[in-house]
Structure 1
Amino acid sequence: MRFDYSLRLLTDKSWQQPQFHFHDNYEILFSLTTAGSVFIDNELLPLENGTLCLIQAGCLHRTKSEVDEFKRYVLQFPETILRNLSDGTDPVASLLNRAYLCTLLSPQDYIQLNYLFDRLFTLSGAENGNTFQRNIALLEILYYIGNLLGEPFEEGQPVTSPDYKRIRPVLDYIQEHLDEPLPLDTLASEFYLNKHYFCHLFKKVTGFSATEYIIRNRLAQARSLLRSGVSVQEAGEQSGFGSNAHFIKTFTNVVGISPGRYAREYRSSHKI
């Protein structure tokens, strides 16, 4: 049996992800350069050489680089790997409990983890690579990170700019009221801001518009509801979409398949 995973070693210049997004798989981001920032679950965190982020399936995030070269490993794998391997008390169990975990590695951990990623990357690229070796190499990474994050560790500290402090309460408000109408006029007045200034500030801080942020969060919530067995109509209503037709159209345009098909495929295979 070969574990289902994807490992990429990426290098980009002045990188910014085109949209705020989520995955159905877990993602590990291992930054090999000091770059810019990553926006995860309403937190804006710096990306430094040695930053390690574990992002849970369904957690909205977006990365942005402000340097000439942004080099990183990106490892994606289904949640079922963790759940099938963990008995709830081992180091791997610590990877299942939060929306994200982010830390700056010590020099020793950086060297060791970089070696493990390099090894898995080499094995993954071999045409006739040994499946057993690949599986073990993946498990070594997960076990190492589980040990690292299962013990007390220094979490990455959010960026603390005055603009971010003004927008952070807005992000929390949106999360708490996703099932309600959220017109921009109402949001701006709720926080005593001019609508034009509010929209400008929101995009400056987060990198995306308030409307995009609301839609992506509603889709992430709907996806979670669909996976839990809620009907398509109820998932749309509970996520704040004004009509079932609007929900189906938006979900299909962004995710690539209809919400009904998404739910069916998840039930049949436990992953998309």
Structure 2
Amino acid sequence: MQILRKGAFFMDEYEIEEKCQSYEVTDFQHNFEIEHPTTTLQQWGLHIHSNHYELLVFIRGNAECWIEGRRKKLEYGDVVIVNPREIHRIFILDNAEYERIVIHVSDSMLKELSTAQTNLLRVFHKNRAHILHLSEEEMAQFVSNQLQMKKMWKKKEFGADLLGSAWFQILLLQISQKMRQAEGSGAWESVAGLVGEALEYVNAHMTEDISVQDIADALNVSRYYLSHAFKKSTGYGLWNYVISKRLVYSQKLLVEGASVTEACYESGFKDYAHFIKSFTKTFGCSPKQYGKNDASIYTVKLNAADAAIDRDSRCIYIHDEAKFINKELKN
């Protein structure tokens, strides 16, 4: 059984926030985190986790998830699975309290927890479902397990850290088992109409020399009409979406060993200097530095206004949890 660092469970992370024109980057130094927040009247911008899976277990509220052009109204027991480098967001539909349990876990952590008999990393890599559903009984067990984990991590007695680690692994196993049952499934509502077609076109052609006008021409609409429809549906600009997809793909290439030049042109950028500038502003380090630091965790928030709302609320939550952790560590 793996022993996991205590601080990561309750958001005991260091944050480096860097704002630029269209993006905000948050760098976390842990391979996993878990939180159980309840919020109201809070909206999140579209964002990307470059190296982490996000597992969101929905408990209550009136919310809709959006992942790469697919959307679903969330119900009690839904488990939203977001793979690394997938653009996603949650839409809050009214002022009802929004409660969920959220786990972020990296490939490296899944690999560390895997065994020859139980390969968690392989299960996550093979998973094609974005939405799983826990029954009433499974949901009650999941919430109970999460509370047991938190209870163990509060204690200082002998063996409590091992039990806390075990409960966390049980949570991952419960979701992984549902993934295995759902392999090859996961079809859900796609964004229909013009915006859906635009998303599909960008995802298919993002590495090519395209412009907003090219996309509009391919869809037989005016550039203005397309831009307005896309902004209204997603909350941010179409060209920002293209650039964000290219930047995230360039990340992947760098981690896989591509040179900076290869990452630039293979991801669709035509101007090397512009690529370097955009990458550095977005991720807070140069492409060359990033390629040497693939263990870092980057969250790219694509809408500056929404990101500011998210940042304020998130920091309040982290601050509250940090007080608890610091108190526990000093005792």
TM class by smaller structure? 0.7 to 0.9
Paired residue type of 1:219: L
Instruction: Determine the C-alpha separation between the residues in 1 that align with 2:200 and 2:209.
Output: 15
Identity of aligned residues (%): 23
Match of 2:132 among 103, 108, 112: 103
Between 33-42 and 136-145, the greater mean CA deviation after superposition: 33-42
RMSD over aligned Cα atoms? 2.5
Between 46-55 and 1-10, the greater mean CA deviation after superposition: 1-10
Instruction: Determine the C-alpha separation between the residues in 1 that align with 2:116 and 2:214.
Output: 44
Paired residue type of 2:262: E
Instruction: Determine the C-alpha separation between the residues in 2 that align with 1:49 and 1:153.
Output: 22
Q: Does 1:261 align with 2:289?
A: yes
Q: Does 1:24 align with 2:51?
A: yes
* 5+ residue gaps, structure 1: none
Instruction: After TM superposition, list the pairs within 5 Å mapping 1:46-125 onto structure 2.
Output: 46-68=73-95, 69-87=97-115, 90=118, 92=120, 93-98=122-127, 101-124=130-153
Paired residue type of 2:213: D
Match of 2:4 among 2, 9, 22: 2
Instruction: Determine the C-alpha separation between the residues in 2 that align with 1:104 and 1:237.
Output: 41
How many angstroms does 1:156 deviate by? 5.8
TM-superposition CA deviations, 1:65-92 (whole Å, max 9, x none)? 1121221111112212222333576473
Paired residue type of 1:138: F
Inter-CA distance 241–121: structure 2 relative to 1 (3 Å threshold): farther
How many angstroms does 1:160 deviate by? 5.6
3-state SS in 1 of match to 2:147: helix
Instruction: After TM superposition, list the pairs within 5 Å mapping 1:56-205 onto structure 2.
Output: 56-68=83-95, 69-87=97-115, 90=118, 92=120, 93-98=122-127, 101-124=130-153, 126=154, 128=156, 130-152=160-182, 158-159=188-189, 164-205=192-233
Inter-CA distance 127–67: structure 2 relative to 1 (3 Å threshold): farther
Instruction: Determine the C-alpha separation between the residues in 2 that align with 1:210 and 1:113.
Output: 39
How many angstroms does 1:264 deviate by? 0.6
Matched-pair contact (CA < 8 Å) for 2:126–2:183? no
Inter-CA distance 155–207: structure 2 relative to 1 (3 Å threshold): farther
Matched-pair contact (CA < 8 Å) for 1:40–1:100? no
TM-superposition CA deviations, 1:44-76 (whole Å, max 9, x none)? 222222220122222222222112122111111
Aligned length: 266
Inter-CA distance 167–143: structure 2 relative to 1 (3 Å threshold): same
Between 52-61 and 231-240, the greater mean CA deviation after superposition: 52-61
Between 168-177 and 218-227, the greater mean CA deviation after superposition: 168-177
Paired residue type of 1:101: H
How many angstroms does 1:208 deviate by? 2.4
Inter-CA distance 154–62: structure 2 relative to 1 (3 Å threshold): same
With a CA cutoff of 8 Å and minimum separation of 6, indicate the structure with the bigger relative contact order. Answer: 2
Q: Which residue of 1 aligns with 2:277?
A: 249
Matched-pair contact (CA < 8 Å) for 2:50–2:84? yes
TM-superposition CA deviations, 1:193-232 (whole Å, max 9, x none)? 1222211211222232212211211111111101100011
Instruction: Determine the C-alpha separation between the residues in 2 that align with 1:67 and 1:14.
Output: 7
How many angstroms does 1:118 deviate by? 2.6
Q: Which runs of 4+ in 1 moved over 6 A?
A: none
Q: Does 1:37 align with 2:64?
A: yes
Instruction: Determine the C-alpha separation between the residues in 2 that align with 1:189 and 1:127.
Output: 62
TM-superposition CA deviations, 1:133-155 (whole Å, max 9, x none)? 22111110111111112114896
Instruction: After TM superposition, list the pairs within 5 Å mapping 1:229-248 onto structure 2.
Output: 229-248=257-276
Inter-CA distance 47–203: structure 2 relative to 1 (3 Å threshold): farther
Paired residue type of 2:293: E
* TM score, norm. by length of structure 2: 0.72
* 5+ residue gaps, structure 2: 6-30, 298-331
